Amino acid sequence: MPRANYLFTSESVSEGHPDKVCDRISDEIVDLFFREGAKSGVDPYQIRVACETLATTNRVVIAGEVRGPAISKEQIEATARDAIKNIGYEQDGFHWRNANVDVVLHAQSADIAQGVDASGNKDEGAGDQGIMFGYACRETPELMPAPLFYAHKILETLAKARKAGEGDAAKLGPDAKSQVTVRYVDGKPVGVTQIVLSTQHLDENLSSSDVRAIVEPYIRATLPEGWINPETVWHVNPTGKFVIGGPDGDTGLTGRKIIVDTYGGAAPHGGGAFSGKDPTKVDRSAAYAARYLAKNVVAAGLADRVTIQLAYAIGVADPLSIYVDTHGTGKVSEDRLEAALGQSMRLSPRGIREHLNLNRPIYARTSAYGHFGRAPDVEGGFSWENTDLADKIKAYLA
């Protein structure tokens, strides 16, 4: 039997965290290829991007493999600078205008392409082997684990206030980390026992107490009413001064925050990162599909909590396996659910791309505050958060 009463902690990092700066730049490059491809008439199914970014003191290195529209190094450099500017870096050690940007992207390997591309009667194959997980639960209206959902929301709320120049929030810098410990009673989240927030500040004279006074109202407004009480322990900038931040304080790399990006440790992770990858890479697209399936299972009332695993082999279109675990909350058997999910949508890379409409510049917005638990937007981003498959899944089980 699962434990009923316990504490669980998840962390998030802001868009200005050095790793997230790199995720943002890499995803902006993916979007750039889709935008420019649409302008020049390039088949979006032929676009390939595997972009990695490194950032350190006033230097950005963009490397990887691409195929698609002709895009100059100058366009890529300008895209990176615009991303850094939007995040808010105008500091001596990392400035959108002054940073050195090295672009060393090159053509995709022909050996990989021959296994992935569709040809004749062969469907588009997976871009690599691997396992991907999706998860959903009833802890929040968004069907996400509460600790991660609120850790994200705290940082997203502070970032919006900082960028809008709201009062003393304008004194904060782009780099920040949060951590929320949630107390569960009878398996349900009921309150917060510990709150950790470390945020960069531009005024070096601010103390930890000063920073807490700035951020506490935003945190209280973000968390559910009654979750913070007199026993809640606060750790705000516990090391003291935090002026040097972002890539000037710590080197960043694409793909180093995979637990932050997914379920905050409440569910397994297959190991592959998302950012910088076009949707032939099942690390990304199949993880989106697995979340989509999991959310629809819960939305359909077939389980209160579910984990789904998909497995792929490079060059092979269909998943090798579909695994479902409802953690004892299922209303139907897991083997019936596995069969129904396999019938409810085509789970090849092309099938996922078509069903979720992934051949569009929708990826930069995923690079911070989580790839899951976000509302679908009017431009088609976060389509994997829709619950439009619930009735179809139930129909297969009728």
Is the pLDDT assigned to residue 119 strictly greater than 60? no
pLDDT band at 111 (very low <50, low <70, confident <90, very high): low
Handedness of CA 148, 13, 364, 319 (dihedral sign): negative
pLDDT of residue 380: 83
Tokens linked to 398? 């009728």
Short-list 193, 175, 198, CA closest to 183: 193
pLDDT of residue 324: 98
Q: Give CA–CA dist 338/335, Å, rounded.
A: 5
Task: Spell out the residues 6+ positions from residue 273 whose beta carbon is closer than 8 angstroms to its own.
Answer: 254, 255, 256, 258, 261, 283
Short-list 145, 127, 135, 143, CA closest to 285: 127
pLDDT of residue 115: 62
pLDDT of residue 378: 79
Q: Give CA–CA dist 263/146, Å, rounded.
A: 9
3-state secondary structure of 300: coil
CB contact at 8 A, 218 and 161? yes
Is the pLDDT assigned to residue 174 strictly greater than 70? yes
pLDDT digits (tens, 9 = 90+) for 21-40: 999 999 999 999 999 999 99
pLDDT band at 110 (very low <50, low <70, confident <90, very high): low
Element (H, E) at 361: none
Is the pLDDT assigned to residue 2 strictly greater than 90? no
Short-list 299, 294, 298, 296, CA closest to 309: 294
pLDDT digits (tens, 9 = 90+) for 362-392: 999 999 999 999 999 878 899 999 999 999 9
Q: How many helices (H) and strands (E) in the chain?
A: 10, 13
Residue with tokens 């890499």: 26
- Residues paired with 322 in a beta bridge: 310
CB contact at 8 A, 110 and 100? no
pLDDT digits (tens, 9 = 90+) for 231-280: 999 999 998 889 999 999 999 999 999 999 999 999 999 999 999 999 99
pLDDT band at 118 (very low <50, low <70, confident <90, very high): low
Q: Give CA–CA dist 114/227, Å, rounded.
A: 54
Element (H, E) at 157: helix 146-164
Task: Spell out the residues 6+ positions from residue 308 whose beta carbon is closer than 8 angstroms to its own.
Answer: 133, 134, 135, 290, 293, 294, 297, 322, 323, 324, 325, 341
pLDDT band at 105 (very low <50, low <70, confident <90, very high): very high
The per-residue b/e assignment along 110-127, b for 16 or more CB within 10 angstroms, e otherwise, is eebbebbbeeeeeebbbb
pLDDT digits (tens, 9 = 90+) for 329-347: 999 999 999 999 999 999 9
The Cβ of residue 5 has, within 10 Å, a number of other Cβ atoms equal to 11
Q: What is the CA radius of gyration of the chain?
A: 21
pLDDT of residue 117: 65
- Residues paired with 7 in a beta bridge: 183
- Residues paired with 135 in a beta bridge: 307
Beta strands in the chain, from DSSP E residues, in sequence order? 6-13, 48-56, 59-67, 90-91, 94-95, 100-107, 130-137, 172-185, 188-201, 233-236, 252-253, 305-312, 321-325
Q: How far is CA 31 from CA 36, 48, 117, 244, in A?
A: 9, 11, 20, 30
Tokens linked to 309? 């695993």
Tokens linked to 299? 């939305």
The Cβ of residue 354 has, within 10 Å, a number of other Cβ atoms equal to 14
The Cβ of residue 58 has, within 10 Å, a number of other Cβ atoms equal to 17
Handedness of CA 217, 218, 219, 224 (dihedral sign): positive
Q: Give CA–CA dist 151/124, Å, rounded.
A: 38
Task: For the chain, give the mean pLDDT.
Answer: 94
pLDDT of residue 398: 84
